[in-house]
Chain A
Amino acid sequence: MSKIAYFNLPDVGEGLTEAEIVSWKVKPGDTVTVNQVIVEIETAKSLVELPCPFAGVISELMAAEGDTVEVGKPIISATVADDAVGATVAQAETAAAVHQAVADVAASSAAAEERTPNLVGYGVADPNGPVRRKRAATPVSTNTSAITAIPAAAAAAGHLAVPTHPDTQVLAKPPIRKLAADLGVDLGKVTPTGLNGDITREDVMGMAQQASVFRNLSTPAAPTAREERIPVKGVRKAIANAMVSSAFTAPHVSIFVDVDATRTMEYVKRLKASTDFAGTKVTPLLIMAKAMMWAVRRNPMVNATFTAEEIIVHNFVNFGIAAATPRGLIVPNIKDADKMSMLELAQAIEQLAATAREGKTTPADMKDGTITITNIGVFGVDTGTPILNPGEVAIVALGSLRPKPWVVNNEIQVRQVTTIGATFDHRVVDGDVASRFVQDVASVIEEPALLLD
């Protein structure tokens, strides 16, 4: 029995890539013995005679004198005994199949595991271009320290085992630490959801608080006395009277709309990063204020006062912000807020909050408000039905901003979503006006660029 054997051009000089066929010493039909010189080639280094690796009968000279052949390509084929040792061997086939086999040998060398490189020099680059071996598992950890050695199960699952930390350090990549620092988020209070037990960008964003004029309160200890009696006087009495007079005089109606506030959050972030706003607190409340004032221009009836004889529509906005103080709820307002630039408004809001915290808000600050916002989102509350500030016909509640599933371009995505709630005096504001106003505010929150109008 016999088979066809091929002799591939070897690298004869430690790193050569090709050689020229100078002269053939045999022809098809010749019987050859092992080591018989069959061809003389010229390489970059020298003229070399090649000895035949097998004994047999020459079938084909696969390159002509003068041809330059790449290392690794077959140059001669011969019929040899079945048990002949040497070079690349394939089954005897028809001529066409043989040539295809030769072409396949060259082409398959990239993918086949048993590609035998020529020794020193490894022949030429694969003509099909570089290929990548198929990976089964996810990337192998570069983590080679014994301390965080990967348990076999976790490695098979495709991610690193969560290292245990006897220490109190939080885990976060450097960019995430910076983000948290910029947003004023305490990493120690964030729940990590990363695969390595680390805090992710989303974790930080989720915790990022809006502008808070309120201090976080902690759970007090349980009181020992059975009851506490607080006299109703001073500010508390005034608040109570105002609430009663408002709630039971004006017919309150509340409407709500959920809105995708992601763009507002991005806008807030950009403002924070801008040099103009350096040192000034920028929060979603600022954008809400601007949105409300824009919506007021389009729906003036919400910025009015009801008296028995007439409805006074104000052509200015004294923008009230409900503030919780140790002494109770107050609503100072920013006079002529509609005439302020974004920066001035931001500064005015900051000032108002500081003053309220210090307990220095004056009665004048609290008079003549025309529309109010109450920020209940800082308490983690989604929305509510606020009570109108006496003398006003609209109040808007800003709820919490949370990542929620939302439909964007027909796909579910995670967006920052908030509920805008508003209460109106139905004597002055009809349903359609109320709805349009709320919708306008929501539109700006969804697309702050509308403010450019």
Chain B
Amino acid sequence: MVQLLSPEGDFSVPKQYAEYGKYIERLNEDDFLKFYRDMARCRRFDNEATALQRQGQLGLWIPAIGQEAAQIGSGYGVGKNDHIFPSYREHGVAITHGIELMSILKMLRGVNHGGWNPEETRFHLYAIVLGSQVLHATGYAMGVKFDGKVATAIKDENLAVITYFGDGATAEGDVSEALLFAANTQSPLVFFCQNNQWAISSPTTSQTRVPLYERGAGFGVPGIRIDGNDVLASYAVTAKHMDDAREGAGPSLIEALTYRIGAHTTSDDPTKYRTDEEVAYWTARDPLKRFEIFLRRQGISDDFFDEVAEAGEKLAAEIREATFALKTPEIEDMFKHVYSEPHPVIDEQLDWLKRYEASFGGEN
């Protein structure tokens, strides 16, 4: 397992991971501070969203608490042309690619199904059907290869694709089929599996008999395991694998071992299937905690951490206000974009619904 930053905050690059160490060498202090800020931002946003759900403002919230390092680190390892196919918990990756946090909340409030522009942001919409996005990512990567945007001399134009999915999703047939297609076509795709050890109430041991980083071997997709709570390892390993894919190395798999500190969603009750001891064990391995220790050892002072905490409160207040101000969508919205070309049934039914709604409000 690739680990560059221990839970105690010690940084060291084992010899066999020297190539990953090189990626850390290229980072400067600003990069480190950026990593921390975004992890903190992600955490604060997540906690506020849970509170909003408990206050009846969101139908559902999907916490990513505990997985910030895997997401922020890998998110920053993605190249400037690369495309990302997430599942539904990658709020940290969204932050690294400038997705408006309110966009995510709009989805959970029921205003729309996502709403951000996947082409512009290169961060595709959340996928609720487990594993479905992995096939889309594979098709996209195949297309990139057909376009000839892999391993060309013009480095700036090359691109690769990364897709995120959890340990539970690896059981879905679509993930296996995607590994097969990607390997057959040697497409530029990194399969990033966040193993947060729980799929609602099912532990990883019920989803696989073999460590998940070995899953791809059967299909011809080499894999590696990283410490998902180590933001530096997450960054370095992802960045290298994306670079390799862009250079024509074909698909690869990264298993980020982390832990889902929160519940599956706000409808879930983890106390029914796991122990407080286990949660405590992993809480002690909090990705923010260890990185804070690391940063303080680098000389970063209280001022920075206070500023981050304050920014977090400000963010939370903004999110609250924006959430309460969200309006119900227009009736027309649900008829839009069902088809891109004109369709008689859509026109007829929207027309009928408008007349129906207009028929109310008279005197009896």
Contacts and interface: CB of A to CB of B under 8 A. Distances in A.
Do A and B interact directly, with beta carbons closer than 8 Å? yes
B339 interface: no
Contacts of A146: 344, 348
B239 interface: no
A26 to B, nearest CB: 15
Interface string A1-16: 0000001111111100
Interface in B333-356: 344, 348-349, 351-352, 355-356
Contacts of B58: 119
B106 interface: no
Interface string A125-146: 0000000011111001010111
Contact of A48 (B48, B54, B109, B359): B54
Contact of B59 (A35, A121, A134, A137): A121
A140 B355 contact: yes
Contact of B352 (A47, A50, A140): A140
A425 to B, nearest CB: 65
Interface stretch (B268-276, B294-302, B303-311): B268-276
B146 interface: no
Contacts of A136: 359-363
A10 B54 contact: yes
Nearest to B58: A119
B319 to A, nearest CB: 11
A137 B359 contact: yes
B199 interface: no
B359 A135 contact: yes
A46 B59 contact: no
**How many B residues touch the partner, as a band?**
35 or more
Nearest to A10: B56
A120 B267 CA distance: 11
Contacts of B363: 134, 136
B360 A49 contact: no
Given A12-B54, A134-B364, A136-B361, A46 B272 contact: yes
B258 to A, nearest CB: 23
B324 interface: yes
Interface residues of A, number: 37
Nearest to B266: A12
A119 B269 contact: no
Interface in B24-54: 48, 51, 53-54
Contacts of A34: 317, 320
A46 B201 CA distance: 14
B359 A8 contact: no
B321 interface: yes
B153 to A, nearest CB: 52
B60 interface: yes
A12 B269 CA distance: 11
B110 interface: yes
A391 to B, nearest CB: 69
B16 interface: no
A330 B351 CA distance: 67
A134 B362 contact: yes
A343 B51 CA distance: 86
A268 B71 CA distance: 87
Q: Max chain A CB contacts within 10 Å: which of B56, B57, B110, B344?
A: B56
Nearest to A150: B355
Contacts of A35: 48, 51
B59 A45 contact: no
Contact of B267 (A13, A49, A137, A145): A13
A185 interface: no
A49 B362 contact: no
A87 interface: yes
Given A85-B320, A144-B348, A8 B360 contact: no
Given A135-B359, A136-B362, A118 B110 contact: no
A390 interface: no
Interface in A96-144: 118-121, 133-137, 140, 142, 144
A344 B272 CA distance: 87
A46 B271 contact: yes
A86 interface: yes
A155 B54 contact: no
A135 B363 CA distance: 8
B360 A133 contact: yes
Contact of B56 (A14, A119, A133): A119
A201 to B, nearest CB: 28
Contact of A14 (B55, B59, B321): B59
Interface in B232-283: 266-269, 271-272
B352 A14 contact: no
A120 B110 contact: yes
A85 B324 contact: yes
Given A134-B361, A135-B359, A136-B359, A10 B109 contact: no
B129 to A, nearest CB: 17
A53 interface: yes
Interface in A27-58: 34-35, 45-53
A140 B356 CA distance: 6
B128 to A, nearest CB: 13
A112 to B, nearest CB: 13
Interface string B173-211: 000000000000000000000000000000000000000
A21 B357 CA distance: 39
Contacts of B348: 144-146
B188 to A, nearest CB: 38
A7 B109 contact: no
A370 B321 CA distance: 102
Nearest to A16: B267
B267 to A, nearest CB: 4
A63 to B, nearest CB: 16
A144 B53 CA distance: 41
A85 B54 CA distance: 15
A45 B269 contact: yes
A420 to B, nearest CB: 47
Contact of B359 (A49, A119, A140): A140
Nearest to A146: B344
A49 B271 CA distance: 13
Contact of B355 (A10, A52, A133, A155): A155
A118 B56 contact: yes
A47 B271 contact: yes
Contact of A47 (B48, B269, B356): B269
Q: Max chain A CB contacts within 10 Å: which of B59, B356, B362?
A: B59
A86 B51 contact: no
Contacts of B54: 10, 12, 48-51
Given A10-B56, A11-B56, A46-B272, 16 more contacts: A12-B53, A35-B48, A46-B271, A47-B271, A50-B55, A86-B324, A119-B57, A119-B59, A119-B109, A121-B59, A135-B360, A136-B359, A136-B360, A137-B359, A140-B355, A144-B352
6 contacts: A7-B55, A119-B56, A119-B109, A119-B110, A120-B110, A135-B364
Report the 7 A-B pairs with minimum CB-CB distance, sorted nearest first.
Answer: A136-B362, A10-B56, A46-B269, A120-B59, A119-B59, A144-B348, A53-B55
Interface of A: 7-14, 34-35, 45-53, 85-87, 118-121, 133-137, 140, 142, 144-146, 155
